[in-house]
Amino acid sequence: MVIIMRLNTSLVNEAAKIYKVLSNSRRISILFFLRNSSKEVDVSTIATTLELAQPVVSKQLGILEKYNLVKHHKHGTHVFYFLNDPDVLSMIDAMIEHVEHTAKEHPSNLY
């Protein structure tokens, strides 16, 4: 006998929103940068290191913060960011590992 569990629709919808947030390579790069930083990091450091324009980084950080993946605090005129949910990177790590294992089987331009 197979028992089918019904997923909570609102939870599924929220999960889909987070996957959409994580579908952007810049946001993933920012999350990995923050994970590998030994301390909280200001926007200009992120922008310089990742070679992105500061407004681009600020916009992406705003999106990540909206979904509680990062948080910030202000010190004077500087805004410092840090990971709020490091566990989400485990999910990204698993996906990257999956891609590494299956890259030879799939064409590079799926879309």
CB 84 within 8 A of CB 70: yes
Is the pLDDT assigned to residue 83 strictly greater than 80? yes
* pLDDT class of 1 with cuts at 50, 70, 90: low
- pLDDT at site 2: 58
CB 99 within 8 A of CB 25: no
So where are the chain's domains? 17-102
Give the span between the Cα atoms of 49 and 10, in whole angstroms.
37
Going by the DSSP 8-state scheme, the letter that residue 111 receives in this structure is: -
CB 91 within 8 A of CB 32: no
- Show the beta-strand stretches assigned E in the chain: 41-42, 70-75, 78-83
- pLDDT at site 98: 84
Assign domain 17-102 one CATH number from 2.10.109.10, 1.10.3720.10, 1.10.10.10, 1.10.645.10.
1.10.10.10
R_g over Cα of the chain: 17
Report pLDDT digits (tens) over 11-55. Answer: 889 889 999 999 999 999 999 999 999 899 999 999 999 999 999
Lowest mean pLDDT among 8-12, 78-82, 105-109: 105-109
